[in-house]
Amino acid sequence: MSVHKTTHGYVVRWREGTKNRQRTVDRHADARRWDDETRRRRQLGTLATLNTDVVTLNDYAANTWAPTYRPLLATRTRQTYAHTYDDHIAPRLGHLGLHAMTPPVVAKWQAAVLPSGHEALVKARAVLSTILQSAAEAGLIPTNPVRSVRASRAPLKAEVRPLAPASVEALRSVLSDRGATLLSLCSRTPGFAPERPARCAGATS
């Protein structure tokens, strides 16, 4: 029986018969209590009744998912997954048991990650969904809860609106010949090419 500090908290390890067991918790005090409990039950001969069915997300990701899927990923992808998990998943969800990963929990987590940026959230959702899908396929949870939570939409881009004819004429009178030509090109409606608004967005500013 022993307690070890890791990047995700504290791991308590003990041996039960011929099997090695472990449990990860956030706080050192909780790890010591769990270690004391395993020691007490061993002395009483009731170690086998200790509930080890609660597998945390950190436990599963580190001990089952990563060893299985790491060899299948490119080096850059592995690094991206690791950074994403450490930055956006482990701090809020890592200590929870797999069965605590319900759609409301995932939705609340998603809202907490969104301020870090939409791209960061998209990556974090992909990593979390991959891990939980693996757990679902292994029968550890009934379904992948990420699939039940609507993904946050990307922020809307600024819409380019063509100028009204009267505004075009008013600006044309104060622009150079080149500026007036660009203004005329960018304000033609309807029937302008789809790419023109993006190309001309800065032409009249």
DSSP class of 63? I
- Which residues share a beta bridge with 2? 13
The C-alpha atoms of residue 58 and residue 8 are separated, in whole angstroms, by 7
Residue 108, pLDDT score: 95
Give backbone dihedrals phi and psi of 190, rounded to 5 degrees, phi first: -80, -175
CATH of 57-148, one of 1.10.150.130, 1.10.1040.10, 3.40.50.620, 3.40.630.10: 1.10.150.130
Q: Name the residue ranges covered by the structural domains of the chain.
A: 2-49, 57-148, 165-200
Residue 43 in this model has a pLDDT that exceeds 70: no
- pTM, two decimals, is 0.54
Q: How confident is the model at residue 86 (pLDDT cuts 50, 70, 90)?
A: very high
Average pLDDT over every residue of 160-188 = 62
More confident of the two residues 68 and 180: 68
Q: Are 47 and 41 in contact (CB under 8 A)?
A: yes
Measure Cα distances from 186 to 157, 159, 170, 171, 177 in Å.
19, 14, 15, 13, 14
Residue 158, pLDDT score: 55
Q: Considering the chain, what is the average pLDDT of its residues?
A: 77
**Which of helix, strand or coil describes residue 123?**
helix
Residue 164 in this model has a pLDDT that exceeds 60: yes
Q: How far is CA 181 from the centre of its chain?
A: 48
108-124: burial string, b at 16+ Cβ within 10 Å, e else:
ebbeebeeeeeeebebb
Residue 197, pLDDT score: 47
Dihedral of CA atoms 109, 115, 118, 120 in degrees, nearest 10, equals: -70
More confident of the two residues 199 and 31: 31
Residue 163, pLDDT score: 66
Q: How confident is the model at residue 133 (pLDDT cuts 50, 70, 90)?
A: very high
